[in-house]
């Protein structure tokens, strides 16, 4: 085999997974002795991990041309095995536009977060081990989305769950880290077991594990055992996506894990869950046209987005708040994907991508605050914008994006989601979908409120005396945040580019199960269809921004001309009383308005709801395990009735 043969792009999917696992192995082989370099205790191991993630990203980017633009589906048999006697017996990778879309998200987040880790993880013990686990986690998720058979999906789920649990508990000295990891372990394992049970039930009936072959066999021969398997698989992947009722785990895990790992848990792990749900519902069981299935996914998505945003409003820890928002945004994705229309898929996937970008950015900003101040308690922080101006600006980009402020990326995708849900409501005449549009719009403004709270209580307001010496974070960390912020702005300004080259091919892939099956070498009667991506509204971010810039320029010129900023005194430490805050003649005191009660007027009206939610989220792992069992029972009865 010559070199050119090895560089054939058909090998790239396996390369991209392989480099990550290889990276994990090499890092581990380098031993556990910390390096003497205080700025990078992991030494060369950090660079190895960074190289591995960069290569993995590179391989996937190379696949964009054939898969996204060319519409090719890469079916790759490991060890040159193939179909024998009508059954797939080997391990296969199958990369269609959907897999590649998720793969790209994952690889990007993993690379950026790794870049950030190098300077971020300087205060921790056992940093060398961190990179081993990091690469394992990344490889696990990537393997999951590129895999072509369902048992390998389970194996990858196991790898990523254990790596994620270990990384959640990584800062063992942090209060609650072990507890969070334990909760995650218990419920995460219930999820993994559910997936395994589902796989077993499918294998017992169809004697194959290959996704494409299962997709040919299942739809025609649905029986009770299949439905049971569906329920198990659905619940299993739900725990990975942390959608309701598994959302409390995410909050604990995010609160305790290092920020770079929170990025992976929220931006990457939840995506693997969403990917799994899309694969099983639309490929294996092909419930595309089933109104009741659409109803279930959209309903759970809406409940997730609303419950989690209200839970976020009640939080007073920076990272826990972000964690709930993460699930709230995943709710948007699920609700849009559940619509099973071309526009819905495109919107949902777009939002999934944006979620990875802005949520990653926000977690990294939270990490930067934690890195410099040692706390993420919203009640203790304040006024950091003067000490960390770059972090503040980057955080604001993320906050605007997640709250859907035009022209950032969150707006572009949410706007598509509103249209998709409303269009579906009008098409079907079902008033339930209309309610989803309303819930989504309200959730968006509540998200904004929540981020106003964070902005006010962390970056603005008065600076507590103990943070007088806080400095801006190192360049490496700012660079990682800057990459994500730039991507947030870019994907917000050019939505057409994103939909044409990324989300619409992926949405078409979901709608064309037939070509997925045929590429693997099986027969399928399903015809090729093209989705309709027409939208009801218009939104031209670039021209809007152009107008805004001209307007802003005009205002600024007039303002500057009229001595807008006319303070000429040299303001020293002891400034004249005139430049103190306004207290009506009284002495200037420290009185920061903390995050806890910022939206009193809102919370007061909702006190019964918040009280109920407070009691429900007891923080006891037994309760959450019980929720998982109840959810499984409900899912089973639902599948039995409607399928």
The stretch near other proteins (CB under 8 A) out of 248-256, 401-409, 466-474, 513-521 is: 401-409
By the 8 A CB rule, do 324 and 243 touch?
A: no
Q: Whose CA is closest to 599, among 255, 309, 251?
A: 309
Q: Which is nearer to other proteins, 226 or 457 (CB)?
A: 457
The one among 385, 401, 512, 519 contacting other proteins by CB under 8 A: 385
Q: Which residues pair with 171 in a beta bridge?
A: none
By the 8 A CB rule, do 249 and 479 touch?
A: no
Q: How far is the CB of 426 from other proteins (least distance, A)?
A: 4
Residue reference for tokens 């939208």: 535
Considering only residues 261 to 300 of the shown chain, the ones binding other proteins according to CB under 8 A are none
CA 300 – CA 294 distance, rounded (Å): 10
Considering only residues 500 to 559 of the shown chain, the ones binding other proteins according to CB under 8 A are 536-540, 543-544, 547-548, 550-552, 554-556, 559
Q: Which is nearer to other proteins, 438 or 528 (CB)?
A: 438
The one among 30, 155, 217, 405 contacting other proteins by CB under 8 A: 405
Q: How far is the CB of 573 from other proteins (least distance, A)?
A: 9
The one among 475, 490, 602, 612 contacting other proteins by CB under 8 A: 602
CA atoms within 13 A on the CB side of 543: 3
The stretch near other proteins (CB under 8 A) out of 23-31, 171-179, 385-393, 609-617 is: 385-393
Q: Which is nearer to other proteins, 25 or 460 (CB)?
A: 460
Q: Whose CA is closest to 388, among 461, 472, 460, 469?
A: 472
Q: Which is nearer to other proteins, 363 or 451 (CB)?
A: 451
* 555-591 as b/e: b if 16+ CB within 10 A: eeeeeeeeeeeeeeeeeeeeeeeeeeeeeeeeeeeee
Q: Which is nearer to other proteins, 78 or 548 (CB)?
A: 548
How would you class 522 by CB atoms within 10 Å of its CB: exposed for 0-12, middle for 13-18, buried for 19 or more? buried
Considering only residues 469 to 498 of the shown chain, the ones binding other proteins according to CB under 8 A are none
Considering only residues 122 to 181 of the shown chain, the ones binding other proteins according to CB under 8 A are none
Considering only residues 310 to 349 of the shown chain, the ones binding other proteins according to CB under 8 A are none
Q: How far is the CB of 569 from other proteins (least distance, A)?
A: 10
Considering only residues 604 to 643 of the shown chain, the ones binding other proteins according to CB under 8 A are 604-605
Contact string 431-470 vs other proteins (x = CB under 8 A) = x--x--xx--xx--xx-xx--x--xx--xxxxx-------
Q: Whose CA is closest to 113, among 180, 251, 20?
A: 20
Query: What tokens were used for 423?
Result: 């269009």
Q: Which residues pair with 210 in a beta bridge?
A: 149
Query: Taking the alpha carbons of 278, 280, 284, 288 in that order, is the dihedral positive or negative?
Result: negative
Q: What SS3 class is residue 514?
A: helix
Considering only residues 562 to 601 of the shown chain, the ones binding other proteins according to CB under 8 A are 562-567, 571, 575, 578-582, 584, 591-593, 598-601
Q: How far is the CB of 521 from other proteins (least distance, A)?
A: 42
Q: Which is nearer to other proteins, 102 or 306 (CB)?
A: 306
Q: Which DSSP state fits 81?
A: -
Instruction: Using CB under 8 A, count the residues that bind other proteins.
Output: 75
| Cα Dmax for the chain | 90
By the 8 A CB rule, do 259 and 172 touch?
A: no
Q: Which is nearer to other proteins, 4 or 561 (CB)?
A: 561
Query: What tokens were used for 621?
Result: 């792992």
Q: What SS3 class is residue 87?
A: strand
CA 438 – CA 243 distance, rounded (Å): 20
Considering only residues 417 to 436 of the shown chain, the ones binding other proteins according to CB under 8 A are 418-419, 422-423, 426-427, 431, 434
CA atoms within 13 A on the CB side of 497: 10
The one among 43, 379, 406, 476 contacting other proteins by CB under 8 A: 406
Q: How far is the CB of 550 from other proteins (least distance, A)?
A: 5
Q: Which is nearer to other proteins, 7 or 426 (CB)?
A: 426
Q: Which is nearer to other proteins, 188 or 383 (CB)?
A: 383
Q: Which is nearer to other proteins, 119 or 414 (CB)?
A: 414
């Amino acid at each position: 085999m010559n070199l050119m043969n090895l560089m054939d792009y058909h090998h790239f999917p396996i390369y991209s997974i392989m480099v990550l696992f290889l990276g994990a192995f090499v890092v581990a082989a380098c031993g556990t002795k910390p390096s003497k370099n205080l700025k990078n205790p992991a030494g060369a191991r950090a660079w190895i991990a960074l190289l591995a993630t960069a290569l993995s990203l590179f391989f996937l980017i190379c696949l964009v041309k054939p898969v996204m633009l060319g519409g090719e589906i890469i079916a790759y048999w490991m060890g040159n095995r193939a179909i024998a006697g009508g059954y797939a017996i080997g391990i296969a990778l199958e990369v269609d536009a959907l897999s590649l879309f998720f793969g790209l998200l994952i690889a990007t987040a993993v690379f950026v977060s790794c870049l950030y880790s190098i300077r971020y993880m300087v205060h921790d013990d056992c940093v060398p081990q961190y990179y081993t686990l990091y690469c394992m986690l990344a490889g696990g998720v990537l393997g999951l989305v590129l895999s072509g058979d369902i048992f390998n999906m389970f194996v990858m789920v196991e790898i990523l769950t254990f790596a994620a649990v270990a990384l959640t508990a990584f800062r063992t000295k942090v209060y609650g880290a072990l507890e969070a990891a334990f909760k995650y372990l218990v419920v995460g394992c219930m999820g993994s077991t559910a997936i395994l049970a589902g796989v077993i039930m499918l294998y017992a009936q169809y004697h194959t594990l290959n996704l494409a072959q299962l997709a040919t066999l299942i739809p025609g021969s649905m029986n009770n055992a299949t439905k049971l398997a569906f329920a198990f698989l659905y619940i299993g992947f739900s725990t990975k996506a942390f959608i309701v009722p598994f959302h409390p785990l995410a909050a604990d895990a995010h609160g305790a894990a290092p920020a770079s790992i929170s990025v992976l848990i929220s931006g990457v792990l939840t995506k693997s869950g969403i990917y799994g749900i899309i694969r099983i519902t639309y490929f294996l069981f092909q419930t595309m046209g089933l109104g009741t299935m659409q109803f279930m996914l959209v309903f759970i998505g809406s409940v997730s987005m609303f419950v989690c945003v209200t839970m976020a409003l009640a939080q007073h820890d920076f990272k826990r708040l972000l964690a709930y928002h993460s699930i709230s945004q995943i709710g948007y994705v699920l609700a849009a994907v559940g619509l099973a229309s071309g526009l819905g898929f495109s919107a949902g996937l777009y939002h999934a991508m944006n979620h990875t970008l802005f949520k990653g950015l926000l977690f990294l900003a939270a990490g930067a605050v934690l890195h410099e101040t040692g706390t993420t308690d919203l009640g203790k922080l304040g006024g950091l914008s003067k000490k960390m101006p770059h972090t503040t600006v980057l955080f604001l980009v993320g906050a605007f994006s997640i709250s859907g402020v035009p022209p950032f990326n969150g707006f572009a995708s949410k706007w598509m989601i509103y249209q998709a849900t409303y269009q579906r409501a009008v098409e079907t005449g079902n008033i339930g979908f209309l309610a989803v549009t309303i819930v989504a719009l309200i959730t968006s403004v509540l998200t904004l409120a929540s981020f106003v709270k964070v902005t006010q209580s962390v970056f603005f307001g008065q600076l507590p005396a103990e943070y007088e010496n806080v400095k801006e974070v190192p360049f490496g960390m700012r660079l990682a945040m800057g990459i994500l912020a730039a991507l947030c702005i870019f994907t917000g300004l050019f939505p057409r580019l994103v939909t044409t080259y990324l989300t619409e091919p992926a949405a078409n892939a979901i709608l064309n199960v037939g070509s997925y099956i045929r590429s693997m070498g099986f027969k399928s009667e399903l015809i090729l269809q093209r989705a309709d991506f027409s939208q009801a509204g218009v939104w031209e971010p670039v021209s809007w921004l152009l107008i805004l810039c001209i307007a802003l320029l005009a205002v600024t010129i007039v303002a500057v001309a009229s001595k807008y900023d006319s303070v000429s005194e040299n303001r020293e430490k002891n400034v004249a009383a005139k430049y103190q805050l306004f207290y009506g003649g009284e002495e200037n005191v420290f009185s920061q308005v903390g995050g806890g009660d910022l939206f009193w007027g809102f919370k007061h009206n909702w006190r019964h709801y918040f009280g109920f939610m407070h009691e429900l989220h007891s923080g006891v792992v037994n309760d959450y395990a019980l929720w998982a069992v109840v959810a499984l029972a409900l899912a089973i009865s639902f599948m039995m009735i409607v399928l």
